[in-house]
Amino acid sequence: MLRINIQTLDKVMHENKLFRRTRLSLAGWYVMVMGVILSVCSLGFYEAILHAHRVTIDRELQSVGTTIHDSLGTVLEQPAQVTLAATRILPDFCLVETSCDATQEDIEAVPETENYYLRLLDSSKKLIAVAGLRPKGLQLTTPVSQLKTLTVNGKRYRQISLMLHTQDGSQWGYLLVGRSLQDFDEYMLTVAYTILFGLPMGILSIAGASWWLSKKAMRPIYLSYRQIQQFTADAAHELRTPLAAIRANVESTLMLPKLTEAEARETLEIMGRQNQRLSQMVADLLILCRMDSGMEKLPQKQECICLNDLVTDIAEELAFLAVAAQVKLVSEIIVSQNVKVMGNTEQLYRLVSNLVVNAIHYTLPEGEVKLTLEVNANFALIHVKDTGVGILEKEQKRIFERFYRVNSDRSRQTGGSGLGLSIALAIAQCHQGNINVKSQPGQGSTFTLKLPLSMGYRQ
Ligand code: ADP
């Protein structure tokens, strides 16, 4: 695994052209999508406010118009004649022919009718009286009972027109009730400006956030990209060593003027050994790749495995290796019944042998390697304990990394390439298990494999 702090990771990721471009396009798309969403929402918000205010104004206008219309209907006597009682109903009332200038614009009106105007027309649509605002040049006719928006000199008015009748029911004329929309237009303009200025600010904040988020999203991708790079470099490096040894041997043999049988045999033996090392490494790499891609996952090959047999077989089969290394290999099964787990026999055999072979390799002559099987709760535990060289605490976290070796010279002598424990861990994890290590430098190590018991054997 790659050990790199976040700042350095961000820096090297930024320096990588491909990742920089991908991050930019990710952030760009995000800003674009969010920008469109935000704009649509702002438009919707504006429309909602506009609609709500329009509806309120119309209702207000209708209610004022109907109230005045109903009140006038009870006091009007002669068509086109305004009674005294009628003048009292209307605030700021004035008759066009006698007392006021109907075209005088925006005279100071009573506060309640600040934005309103009233107009009384006779049946021939001639202006009889006005009240409230006096907008200049405003159209006099509108279809009866309809709301209409009128524009004069850039100012907008909303108006309702109602037909007036005298007390006896004959037609008196028309009542026009209107309202200036200036305050409403000003308010909507403020809302529009707020949106227009707020939107770019919002998009700018989104751009900043998306740049930051895209960095966060790219980190794990970049990390695995670096791991693959590292893995390829390590694999190439490991493969190069035996290949170089083979080439050097072939070249030096070819340079000999005359080749004796013994020399030819020696060269072939070296080549055979290196070839064996290469084949092993390629096989290991293949297993790891398959496990990574999920091809080597268990379900297809699951079987019930008796760990008692597995431990005994491994102890017997590796006895010769222990004898050659002058190490005592013992096995102990601390359970009376058979311990069974579900999994792949070949893979579990490989896992436990890797641990035992390592223990033998890293134990000095006269040392001891002990293989123990026990059960704890619903788990089978296999301990591989040695009295060997031990592992420093900081190295204990790294020995499961691919190609990692604590002491590469010694490890190479044992034929190891640093893949054994990563394969062992991958196998354990495929079996829903785990491996942990406890070690004291100079005193020895204990590797513990924990596997879930098969259902029928759980306590
Ligand atoms: P290798 O094939 O090189 O042994 P492994 O992945 O099996 O690679 O082990 C990684 C490293 O862990 C080894 O290089 C060795 O230094 C250390 N190691 C593994 N097992 C033991 C052990 N039982 N005692 C001490 N060190 C060990």
Tokens of 313: 């077989």
Residue 444, CA distances (Å) to 62, 212, 307, 405 in order: 96, 47, 24, 17
Residue 9, CA distances (Å) to 211, 216, 220 in order: 16, 11, 10
- What is the best residue among 234, 356, 405 to mutate for testing ligand 1's pocket, by most ligand atoms within 8 Å of CB? 405
For 232-273, strand residue ranges (E) read: none
The residue count of the chain comes to 459
Query: Residue 115's closest CA among 132, 131, 102?
Result: 132
The ligand 1 atom at the shortest distance from the C-alpha of residue 421 is: 6
Report the distance separating Cα 318 and Cα 310, nearest Å: 12
Q: What are phi and psi of 122, to 5 degrees?
A: -80, -175
Strand 328-333 with 368-376, pairing:
parallel
Report the distance separating Cα 167 and Cα 169, nearest Å: 5
Report the distance separating Cα 186 and Cα 93, nearest Å: 28
Report the distance separating Cα 274 and Cα 241, nearest Å: 9
Tokens of 411: 């490890």
First to last CA, the chain: 37
Q: What are phi and psi of 118, to 5 degrees?
A: -130, 140
Q: Which residues contact 22 (CB under 8 A, 6 or more apart)?
A: 218
Cβ burial, residue 449 (10 Å; 0-12/13-18/19+): buried
361 Cα: distance to centroid of ligand 1 (angstroms)? 8
CB-based contact 354:451 (threshold 8 Å): no
Report the distance separating Cα 155 and Cα 133, nearest Å: 13
Report the distance separating Cα 133 and Cα 334, nearest Å: 104
Give the ranges where 2-16 is alpha helix by DSSP (H): 6-15
Q: pLDDT by residue for the chain (459 residues), tens digit each?
A: 556 788 888 888 888 999 999 999 999 999 999 999 999 999 999 999 999 999 999 999 999 889 988 888 888 888 878 877 777 777 677 777 765 654 444 434 344 456 888 888 888 888 888 888 877 777 776 566 678 898 888 889 999 988 888 888 888 888 889 999 999 999 999 999 999 999 999 999 999 999 999 999 999 999 889 888 888 888 888 888 889 989 998 998 888 888 888 888 988 998 998 898 899 889 888 888 888 776 555 555 678 999 999 999 999 999 999 999 999 999 999 988 899 999 999 889 999 999 999 999 999 999 999 999 999 888 999 999 999 999 999 999 899 998 888 875 555 566 677 889 999 999 999 899 999 999 999 999 999 999 999 876 665
Report the distance separating Cα 284 and Cα 290, nearest Å: 10
Q: How many Å is the Cα radius of gyration of the chain?
A: 47
CB-based contact 129:120 (threshold 8 Å): yes
Chain-centroid distance, C-alpha 179? 53
In single-letter form, the type of residue at position 224 comes to: S
267 Cα: distance to centroid of ligand 1 (angstroms)? 29
Whether 147 lines ligand 1, by a CB cut-off of 6 Å, is: no
- What is the best residue among 358, 383, 427 to mutate for testing ligand 1's pocket, by most ligand atoms within 8 Å of CB? 358
Query: Residue 429's closest CA among 268, 239, 291, 309?
Result: 291
Q: How many CB atoms lie within 10 A of CB 309?
A: 13
399 Cα: distance to centroid of ligand 1 (angstroms)? 7
User: CA angle at residue 136 from 131 to 139, to 5 degrees?
Assistant: 90
Tokens of 62: 């209708």
- What is the best residue among 1, 394, 411, 423 to mutate for testing ligand 1's pocket, by most ligand atoms within 8 Å of CB? 411
CB-based contact 182:154 (threshold 8 Å): no
Domains in the chain (CATH in brackets) are: 77-182 (no CATH), 231-293 (1.10.287.130), 303-452 (3.30.565.10)
